[in-house]
Structure 1
Amino acid sequence: MNLNARLSRRLVLQAGAATAVMGAPGLVLAQPKPLKIGLVHPVSGALAYSGAQGRLGCQLAIDEINAAGGLKALGGTKLEAALADSQSRPEVGVAEVERLQQDGVSAYVGCFSSAIALPATQAAAKYNTPFMIDVGVSDAIVSRGLKNVFRLAPGNGKCVEDAFAGLADVNKKAGGVAKTAVIVHEDSEFGTSTAKLLSAKLSGIGLEVKEVLKHATPTRDFSNLVLRIKALKPDLVIVSNYQNEYVLLARSMHQQKVDVAGIFSVLGGGFNYRLVKEQPDVAQYMMDFNHWYNPRNPKAQEMRKAVEAKGTLFTFEVYCGYNSVKCYVDAVERAKSADKAAVIAALETSTWSDHFMPYGPTKFVNGQNQGGRAVLLQATKTDIDVIWPDEFAAAKAVFPRPKLG
């Protein structure tokens, strides 16, 4: 075989080899490994409904980002949800964090419950893994100096402070009809810490606390507690508890015709579209100061329609989870890396504003977003409206509520 023939044969073989490589999956066309985000929510146990809603919001954000081409700064890397169930128990939440750490997660989002978030974030801190708190309002979560913990939404200290500014304004416009209150709270970290803040603030707006009543989670019967409320005859009943107990207490007060100027809650776990849809008579005129979306934001309205079209309610857990994932992804894009230290540094300098919450740009100080704020809401028989502050209000407050028939 002459030289030209040998060269021609070699070129043919090389071309064939190149074609084989290009057609072989996992070689030239290999996709980058997905970036795993650990979603730690209570999807069983007493907090299962809220946990499932939080997981839904996170998954919506992950799906949206993947559909748009993945992480641009990481060559189109896709996100993958690594799912965990804390079973509504703090010790299980810790175990799930440890399990997901071994599974190679780059960050966590969760935990809905403050009692679960406190030990879960501590466990993640050992590995310097970023932890975005979607819902979990105890200020102890972000006051322990853990550099890996970031909370987009306001905590109970800020919420209580703003809630009473709103309540004072509503009461003042009604001629100061409310002068006394009873506080009802669940007995874990969330309810207990919030009740202490509530008690300290009420006198500052001219309200006397007649009594503070606590209950366990779960509680199946509020008959005796409601009888106590009726005997105290407060102008306001102020509630701080989770979904099931919130709804059961409200229903029990309605059934026993507790006649008060208003039922008010701060971060009420059951104040949502589900309450309005399933028990409109119970929900009507109830007020809550809570996480909410900006009703004037087109993306918020679009997302609400999409979620409801799937037969799911647009509760605060959904959009708090959604925006927490988006905030984390923004940090990854700016860091141009999934390296944990680099992402934490990016979160610390975040000015992210592509959200649909009633917030300003993100600014984390010791892990707490200084731009986060909640709003005062009131239920009708068909919807929930923002009634304070005025810049986001869609309706005027009905206060005091009409006397029960």
Structure 2
Amino acid sequence: MFELSQFRRQFPVVGLALALQLPFMAVNAFAQDAVVQIGLAAPMTGAYAGYGKDTANSAQLAIDEANARKLVIGGKPIKLQLVSVDDQGDPRIAVQVAQQLVDNRVVAVIGHFNSGTTIPASQIYGKAGIPMITPAATNPAITQGGLSTVYRVMATDTQNSGTAGKYAATVVKAKRIAILDDRTAFGAGEADEFEKAVRSHGSTIVSREYTSDKAVDFSAQLTKIKSQDVDLLFFGGLDTQAGMVVKRMRQLGMKATFLAGGGVADANFIKIAGDASEGSLAWDYGLPLESLPNGKTFAVKYKKTYGIDLLPYGPFGYDAANVLVKAIESANSTNPADINAAIKKIQITGITGPIAFFPNGDLKSASSTLYEVKGGQWVVVTTGDPGV
């Protein structure tokens, strides 16, 4: 049998193009008129691959459940098919795969995962009139671009990190606050909204430092921050780097409170930070899964299906898929314009809570949870609707 790897070695440029098109070729080769394709774009390789695969797995559960109901739309039986593509967490690749999904005539898209990939990709879907629901991207700019086809099923950075800023100023009562962010659309977006909220509630930002999402050494930034005698450090970025930051803080003898936004309150942070993680705080998106009516049931179903534990963004991927399924049923149509119109009117209760959207596509009933590391575990401190 002629292997794809052999083809790539002999024809490297053509091989790359073929590799990008394979998911779509496979779908089209066997597709029937009754097959309705829904796209999913997320990082399936690289640093965030675990989250991407978890989102895809969760969305597939929702699609499988819908197909088990034998959907009939417009008087014809249909079968939904999830077409997953790897954007590698790279904005350039995200635009390419977004166009591939459009060319493949998907009726809607779940994605993307990173804010930095979602922002440019949303423009591609918007021009094609294809609705996109992101299960994880939180930068406010995503829904501020005037597109009528963009939605998200979790809180924005304005809501979540704004709440963190208010908390730092009014509950922790920190007076001298420093910020360190990874300069991605996600991390910088978190930090910007945190800073706005802190200033509006009377506390002072004495230092704003930057790193990159590839960095592993934060000594220079933290040494400077330490010299300014801060009460609290806010980190805008994800779990792996957050763990390294707090570990280095304690090695330098810094006693300031460590506070992060979303994407940090998981086991990976504690594993990396070790004992230094104790007392760390993080405002994360949504409510604790175990506190939600169907949360535990969903986690058990996921593990039974895939043999692995559910990650934090999986429930949002499941809910995003179910919003699209319900919109297709409500519209009684597989036309993207009809689906988009139905999404605007949708009101359902998902795994993560009530789902309905403001006109700009933001979630109406967004929620956040404050966690603290106690005894080597993330423990819920408080929950509620975020607001500043």
Is the Cα contact below 8 Å between 2:73 and 2:333 reproduced in 1?
yes
* 1:360–1:371 Cα contact (<8 Å) kept: yes
Distance 1:221 1:115 in 2: 23
Determine if contact 1:118/1:140 at 8 Å carries over to the other structure. Answer: yes
Q: CA deviation at 1:361?
A: 4.4
1:5-404 equivalence runs, <5 A: 33-66=34-67, 68-71=68-71, 73=73, 77-168=78-169, 170-171=171-172, 176=173, 178-260=174-256, 262-267=257-262, 269-276=263-270, 281-294=275-288, 295-307=290-302, 312-353=308-349, 355-357=350-352, 359-389=353-383
The answer to whether the 8 Å contact 1:166/1:389 transfers is no
Q: CA deviation at 1:305?
A: 3.6
TM-score using structure 2 length: 0.82
- Of stretches 181-190 and 204-213 in structure 1, the one that deviates more from structure 2 is 204-213
**Residue 167 of structure 1, CA deviation:** 4.1
| Contact in 2 for aligned 1:38/1:81 (Cα 8 Å) | yes
Q: 1:79 to 1:246 in 2, by over 3 A?
A: farther
Quote how far apart the aligned CAs of 1:106 are: 1.2
Amino acid at match of 1:330: K
* Letter of the 1:271 counterpart: A
Indicate the SS of the match to 1:117.
helix
Counterpart residue type for residue 211 of structure 1: S
- Residue 306 of structure 1: how far off its partner (Å): 4.1
Q: CA separation in 1, counterparts of 2:254 and 2:62?
A: 42
Alignment-mate amino acid for residue 115 of structure 1: G
Q: 1:280 to 1:78 in 2, by over 3 A?
A: farther
Amino acid at match of 1:242: L
1:79 partner amino acid: L
Which residue identity does 2:59 align to in structure 1?
Answer: C
What is the letter of the counterpart of residue 284 of structure 1? E
Structure 1 residues 226 and 219: CA distance shift in structure 2, 3 A: same
Amino acid aligned to 1:114:
S
For 2:309 and 2:251, locate their aligned partners in 1 and report how far apart those are by CA, in whole Å. Answer: 25
CA gap of 1:99–1:46, structure 2 versus 1, over 3 A, is same
Identity over aligned residues, as a percent?
A: 23
CA distance 1:219–1:279, change in 2 (3 Å): closer
Residue 221 of structure 1 aligns to a residue whose secondary structure is coil
Offset at 1:64?
3.2
Shift of 1:312: 3.6
Deviation at 1:316, TM superposition (A): 2.5
Q: Which amino acid aligns with 2:48?
A: L
Structure 1 residues 52 and 225, CA gap change in structure 2 (3 angstroms)? farther
RMSD: 2.6
**One-letter code of the match for 1:249?**
V
SS in 2 for 1:36: strand
Secondary structure at 2:113's aligned position in 1?
Answer: coil
Report the TM-score when normalising by structure 1: 0.79
Q: What is the Cα deviation at residue 339 of structure 1?
A: 1.0
Residues in 1 aligned to 2:266 and 2:52: alpha-carbon distance in whole angstroms: 14
Q: Give CA-to-partner distance per residue, 1:191-246, whole Å, 9 cap, x none.
A: 22332222222133342211001111211222222322322231111011134322
Whether the aligned pair in 1 keeps the contact of 2:234 and 2:258 (CA below 8 Å) is yes
Q: 1:60 to 1:160 in 2, by over 3 A?
A: same
Shift in alpha-carbon separation, 1:92–1:143, aligned structure 2, 3 A:
same
Is contact 2:235–2:260 with CA below 8 Å preserved after alignment? yes
Alpha-carbon distance in 2 for matches of 1:138, 1:228: 28
3-state DSSP class of the match of 2:45?
coil
Instruction: Rate the CA distance shift 1:199–1:61 in 2: closer, same or farther, 3 A.
Output: same
Aligned residues of 2:164 and 2:194 also touching (Cα < 8 A): no
Counterparts of 2:376 and 2:322, CA distance in 1? 30
Structure 1 gaps, min length 5 = 1-29, 393-405
Once residues 385 and 64 of structure 1 are traced to their aligned partners in structure 2, the CA distance between those partners, rounded to angstroms, is 32
Distance in structure 2 (CA, Å) of the matches to 1:307 and 1:286:
29
Computing the radius of gyration from Cα coordinates, the structure with the larger value is: 1
Matched residue type, 1:132? I
Q: Do the aligned residues in 2 keep the contact of 1:62 with 1:81 (CA within 8 Å)? A: yes
Tell me if the contact between 2:368 and 2:384 (Cα under 8 Å) persists in the aligned partners: no
The whole-number CA distance in structure 2 between the counterparts of 1:219 and 1:111 is: 23
Q: Report the alpha carbon displacement of residue 390 of structure 1 after superposing the two structures with TM.
A: 6.4
The alpha-carbon deviation at position 391 of structure 1 amounts to 9.2
* SS at structure 1 position matched to 2:128: coil
Instruction: Give the drift of 1:380.
Output: 2.9
Partner of 1:16: none
Which runs of 5 or more residues in structure 2 are unaligned? 1-30
Query: Number of residue pairs matched?
Result: 353
